[in-house]
Amino acid sequence: MKRVYTAYDAVRGAPIYTEDIVPENALRVKALRSEHSHALIKRVDVSAALEVPGVLAVLTARDVPGENITGAVVLDRPFLAYEKVRCLADPIALVVAVDEEAADKAIEKIVVDYEVLEPVYDPVKALEESAPKVHENNLLRHYKLRKGDVTRGFNESDIIVEEEFRTQMQDPAPLEPEAAYAVPEKDGTLTIYGSIQNPFYVLTGVSRILGLPRDKINLVVMAIGGTFGGKSDEAPWDVCAMAGLAALKTGKPAACIYGRDESMIAHSHRHPAVMRYKVGATTDGRLKALDADIYFDTGAYASVGPLVMLRAVTHAAGPYVVENVRVDSYLVYTNNLTAGSMRGFGSPQVHFAVESMMDILADKLGMDPVELRLKNAWRQGVVTASDAVLMDNPDFGVLAEKVCEELGWRRGEKHPDEGVGIAFMAHGNSLGPEGEDKSSATVRISSDGTVHVATSLTEYGTGASRGFVKIAASVLGVPEDRVVVDRVETQKVPDSGGTFASRSTLMGGNAVYLAAKRLRERIERLIEESGHKGLDVVGFVRDVLREEVSEYAEFKLPVCDYNPETGKGTPYLQYTYGVVGVRVKVDRELGVVRVKDIVAAFDVGRVVNEGYLTAQLEGGITQGVAYGLLEELLIGKKHKVLNPNLADYLVPTAADMPRVKVIVIENPSPLTPLGTRTAGEPGIDAPAAAIANAVYDALKIRITSLPITPEKVVAALEKSEAIAVFV
């Protein structure tokens, strides 16, 4: 059994990625995608494409042997479009050829006749009765948050503030585009190697499309060159099914490898959002009411949008005690590219809004923003915005104190055009209202004394596999170099759930812990019974039993009782908590915002691997800065993507980042065996809001849309100066 690929393999250039193992004579598969974002397909003519030398097949919807429908949550997307296209990413035909050059020539020869329909791109306008219909109903989901009586709350408020916020479509931008290599085996099974984040989810989708039983398909997870959500839902299903379909039709190995421009339209993106907030408080800063309408643009298809919306609405009031709450959230179909999984999963959008509102309110009250937040921050036993008692144990006072001390928090004591900003965050751990969450693992000791950990949770740079090694080694009392995490193959490892929601260490780590504990206890009983009391567990298996011993375990979290219809109940049992502070310098003439310092403190529960933990938090912060200042998938007049590559899409480099100080606070969760909290996503939630608040502190102008570009800053300054002159 091969092991999981490591960072050492990557830096020494080992052939560990999918494209590395594709032989030169493998067939290549390429997709023809729609020219229009909304149109009826009247005719598809592939005859000229079939005449291109080197082309073996051109496949359309009629060639799909299984169900030509797919979807992570809702089966709403044709695998190959045949009647209607709803966005520019929709694939219509697949060309199977001996090389990419032949495939590209054939794609140019395919003729598609369209009847162009009126598109809709704004989620608020898409809900109007006269709006074009992307699907039968443009409203996909309506979720609520309810507590008390907001009308009464505003009547009891001394200060009321209102604002609308807009956030952009952000691309995950993994370094490695999606890739799959399918090999038809002699026994009628199909082996698919790929850059696959969630193998058993992909297995379900591929099995449905190809019409093959799950046990006839073996998905082998190669090294994953980044994902950030882009490989979490449907893009890997597509690329694996495309390669698999070509292999089945031709009987030959086939590879489907996206180019950068194709990857950036085909995978999921962060949901653009429109958020309208109204908050009321007393003169001493007690939050009396929060009222919000939140619109998330899920694009042409649902993907995991319903789950993203659940997380967004349950985080919409921030980590604060508000006496009265009404939040209505709407997940809306448009003809934009599909939005779905991306790091943060709906939380960064609402954190930007609510944390901006806290600063707006503090300014109106004449209060220090930190003081206002601490006055209303969660603590154990409070009643949250979903009218549920918080059983978890946050301590925002400690986190804020650490950040303010390190940053030098002093509003009013600063250089010209320099500002400081702060934002609090709480990130619900695991799936919460998104569904029952459980994970599993098998730990075995082979006859040679090697410890093997088997799980379907994949490694894509988070260090989760190193965490599993540490946990198993610690429980079994063996050196870490005696523990191996097996390579993920769906025919050989248990289904441990998806590698998302920052759940690897929380869920998978606890499953490994329980399996290793059971294995140790079982072997210790055997040692006791056999009289070999001088041997440790590994020595006993290697020298006495001389045969493999294994144990399997599942770890489950209790099902949360939040009800999105009533807006009440417990959405998450525990959270990761954080405070992010930034210092910025703004160039008034150019509008450039330069982040000089970032200090962030996080309550992460119990630390399993501090190096990887800190790296995850720093990575999240970096992506949060990019969300606040740089990254946006730009759409032109004809609704074509203007920056579908890493030359034009602005991903920050090390040179763009300031000093980042991460402070880790260990406050073990009382709710899990290991006491861990999640760390992969929380770092991204608060930086954009902290930057917006710092820009306001520097310039006294409020930017309410992301990213905060130089153009927006200059325009806001000009508007502010014009108003000042007019007054």
Across the chain, mean pLDDT equals 94
Q: What is the pLDDT of residue 55?
A: 99
CA distance linking residue 203 with residue 248, whole number of Å: 16
Of the two residues 132 and 393, the one the predictor is more confident about is: 132
Is pLDDT at 411 greater than 80 in this prediction?
no
Look at 222-231, 366-375, 668-677 and tell me which has the smallest mean pLDDT: 668-677
Cβ-Cβ contacts under 8 Å for 180 (sequence gap 6 or more): 18, 192, 193, 194, 195, 196, 236, 239, 240, 242, 243, 244, 255, 256, 257
Q: What is the pLDDT of residue 412?
A: 66
| Beta bridge mates, 277 | 163, 292
Interval 344-362 mean pLDDT: 98
> Any idea where the domains of the chain sit in the sequence?
7-117+173-266, 273-432+563-726, 438-556
Distances (CA, A) of 129 to 40, 64, 125, 386, 423: 21, 36, 9, 31, 38
Burial 338-354 (b: 16+ CB within 10 A, else e): bbbbbbbbbbbbbbbbb
Interval 450-460 mean pLDDT: 92
Cβ-Cβ contacts under 8 Å for 164 (sequence gap 6 or more): 274, 275, 276, 277, 704
CA distance linking residue 172 with residue 168, whole number of Å: 13
Q: What is the CATH number of domain 273-432+563-726?
A: 3.30.365.10
Look at 319-323, 481-485, 545-549 and tell me which has the smallest mean pLDDT: 545-549
Look at 77-86, 281-290, 407-416, 481-490 and tell me which has the smallest mean pLDDT: 407-416
Q: What is the pLDDT of residue 723?
A: 65
Q: What is the pLDDT of residue 636?
A: 81
Tell me the angle at which helices 347-365 and 610-629 cross, rounded to the nearest 10 degrees.
70
Is pLDDT at 420 greater than 70 in this prediction?
yes
Residues 163, 279: contact at Cβ < 8 Å? no
Say if domain 7-117+173-266 classifies as CATH 3.90.1170.50.
Answer: yes
Distances (CA, A) of 227 to 233, 306, 460: 10, 20, 7
| Beta bridge mates, 432 | none
Amino acid at 77: R
Q: What is the pLDDT of residue 1?
A: 60
Task: Quote the tokens at residue 460.
Answer: 């894509």
Q: Is pTM, for the whole model, over 0.85?
A: yes
Cβ-Cβ contacts under 8 Å for 131 (sequence gap 6 or more): 120, 125, 138
Q: How confident is the model at residue 501 (pLDDT cuts 50, 70, 90)?
A: low
Encode pLDDT of 544-599 as tens digits.
888 899 999 999 888 888 999 999 999 998 999 999 999 999 999 999 999 999 99
Measure the N-to-C terminal CA separation of the chain; round to a whole number of Å: 75
Interval 195-213 mean pLDDT: 96
Nearest to 567 by CA among 288, 283, 206, 292: 292
Indicate if 273-432+563-726 has the same CATH topology as 7-117+173-266: no
The 3-state DSSP class for residue 627 equals helix
Q: How confident is the model at residue 114 (pLDDT cuts 50, 70, 90)?
A: very high
Interval 703-715 mean pLDDT: 98
Q: What is the pLDDT of residue 724?
A: 56
Q: How confident is the model at residue 727 (pLDDT cuts 50, 70, 90)?
A: very low
Tell me the angle at which helices 305-314 and 347-365 cross, rounded to the nearest 10 degrees.
20
Look at 33-37, 317-321, 674-678 and tell me which has the smallest mean pLDDT: 674-678
Q: What is the pLDDT of residue 722?
A: 66
Say if domain 438-556 classifies as CATH 3.30.365.10.
Answer: yes
